[in-house]
A = this chain, B = another copy of it.
Amino acid sequence: MNFLEGETMKLEKIAALIGGKLKGDGAVEISGVGNIEQAREGHITFLNQKKFRPALSRSRAAAVLVEEALDTAIPQVIVASPELAFARLLRKFHPDPKSQAGIHNRALVGENVKLGAQVTLSAGVCIGDDVEIGDHVHLYPGVVVGERCRIGNHTVLHPNVTLYRDTELGDHVILHAGAVIGADGFGYTPDENGAHYKINQIGKVVIEDHVEIGANSCVDRATLGITRIKRGTKIDNLVQVAHNCTVGEHSILVAQAGVAGSCTLGHHVMLAGQVGVTDHLTLGDHVTVAAKAGVFRNIAKHRAHGGTPAIPLDVWRKYATALPKLPELIHKIRNLEKRLKEIENDSSSR
C-alpha cells in the first residue's frame, strides 16, 4: 500500500504500520517525509544520532522517529532503527514509478527468447537469441542483452547497460546506467615474441537476488567457471570486479573500489571508496577496509584494515598521525648521535 500525492495519514496509523511505539499526539496528520533540516510542516523526520538532537528543535517536522523516547513536545514514534523506519516510510510516500509494461516497436528481440509477464522492453533495447526474462522486468532504452542471458523477476536494467552472453541475473536485481556485466576478464600470457596472447574468457557472471550495481561499474566474466556476486550485495558507481571473483552476501563496495582477479570476499564485507584489492586474496566475513586502502594480503574475518599496504586500522591510524613528525625525527636522531658521540669521546679520552 502506497500513499498517493497529497494523501496524509495519522501518526498513530504510521506507528502501527512500522511497528513503533507512539509518544505524544497520535492524531497529527503526516503528509510526507524529510530529513531533519529539510522536513516541512506535516513531515515526519528521524533522529539517528544524538549529535543531531539540537537540530531537532529547529526542525519544522510534525513528528520524529527515535530510538529512545525524547523529552520534547514533538510527537514521537519509538522504533529499533529510526533510519530503517524512515526508509520504509520514504518508500510509501515516494514509491518507485510504475512502468507501463510492453514491448516497444523499436525494441529488438532475438530468436527463442522467453519473456515473462509484465515485461517492459523500451525503444532501442536489443535482446540476443535464447535469452530468458522473468516477470515484471524493466529494460530501459539502449540496454543490450547477449545470447543465452537469464534475467530473474522484478529486475531493472537502466539505460545503456550491457550484459555479455551467458550472464545470469537473479530476482530484484538493479543495474544502473552504463554498467557492463560479463566483459572478458583481463587475461593474457606472453607468447614467443613478447606479445600478449589473449586467454579466451569462456566463463560467465552470476549476479544473485537483490544485488544492486552502480552506474558504469564492471563485473568481468570468469576465464573458466563463474564470477559471482552473491545475494543482497550492493555495488556503487565505477567499481571494478575482475574475473573469477566471488563477492559474498550483503557486502558493500563503495564507488571506484576495485577487486582484482580470483579474489574471494566473505559476506558483509565493506570496501570503502577507491579501495583496491590485489589478485587471489581472501577477505573474511565482516571485513571492513577504509577508504583508499590498498590490500595486498588476506584479511581474517571481522578485521578492519586501512592504508597502503593495508594493515589493521588502529595501527594505520597511529602511524598516519605520526607521519608528519618524521622529518623532525630524523633531525632529533642526528642530534642524539652527535651528543652521544661527544659523551663517548669524552669518556674514552678520560
A contact set with B: CB distance below 8 Å: 33-35, 38, 80-81, 83-84, 86-88, 90-91, 94, 96-97, 106, 108, 122-124, 126, 140-142, 144, 147, 158-160, 162, 164-165, 174, 176-178, 180, 183-184, 186, 188-192, 194-200, 202, 210, 212, 214-216, 218, 220, 223-225, 232, 234, 236-238, 240, 242, 250, 252, 254-256, 258, 260, 268, 272-274, 276, 278, 291-292, 294, 296, 307-309, 311, 315-316, 318-327, 329-330, 332-333, 336-337, 339-340, 343-344, 346-347
The answer to whether B329 touches A330, judged by C-beta atoms less than 8 angstroms apart, is yes
Contact B256 A240 (CB under 8 A): yes
Chain B residues, Cβ within 8 Å of A97: 147, 165
Chain B residue with minimal CB distance to A140? Answer: B144
B276 near A256 with CB under 8 A, answer: yes
Contact A186 B214, CB 8 Å, known A84-B191, A326-B319, A326-B326: yes
Report chain B residues within 8 Å CB of A84: 189-192, 197
Q: In the bound complex, do residue A200 and residue B232 qualify as a contact, i.e. CB atoms below 8 Å apart?
A: no
Distance, CA A347 to CA B344, complexed state (A): 12
Kindly report which residue of chain B lies nearest to residue A165, judged by CB atoms.
B97
Q: Indicate which residue in B292, B294, B321 contacts A276 across the interface (CB closer than 8 Å).
A: B292
Q: Which of B198, B214, B255, B332 contacts A337 (CB 8 A)?
A: B332
Separation of A171 and B39 alpha carbons in the complex (Å):
31
List 7 additional A-B contacts (Cβ < 8 Å) besides A322-B327, A339-B340.
A124-B142, A158-B164, A186-B234, A236-B240, A260-B291, A291-B294, A308-B308
Report the Cα distance A123→B337, complex, angstroms: 76
**29 chain-A/chain-B pairs, Cβ below 8 angstroms:** A84-B192, A87-B197, A90-B199, A91-B200, A94-B200, A94-B202, A124-B142, A126-B142, A142-B160, A142-B162, A162-B178, A178-B216, A186-B236, A194-B268, A195-B250, A198-B212, A216-B216, A238-B240, A240-B255, A254-B260, A258-B273, A307-B308, A316-B324, A318-B326, A322-B327, A326-B326, A329-B329, A333-B336, A339-B344
State how many copies of this chain the complex holds.
3
Q: In the complex, what residue of chain B is closest to A35 when comparing beta carbons?
A: B224
Give which listed residue, B33, B158, B250, B347, contacts A343 with CB less than 8 A: B347
A336 nearest CB across to chain B (Å): 6
Q: State whether A258 touches B278 (Cβ < 8 A).
A: no
- In whole Å, how far is A340's beta carbon from the nearest beta carbon of chain B? 6
Alpha-carbon gap, A225 to B94, bound state (A): 13
A258 near B260 with CB under 8 A, answer no
B319 and A327 within 8 A (CB)? yes
Separation of A332 and B341 alpha carbons in the complex (Å): 13
Q: Most chain-B CB neighbours within 10 Å: which of A35, A122, A215, A336?
A: A215
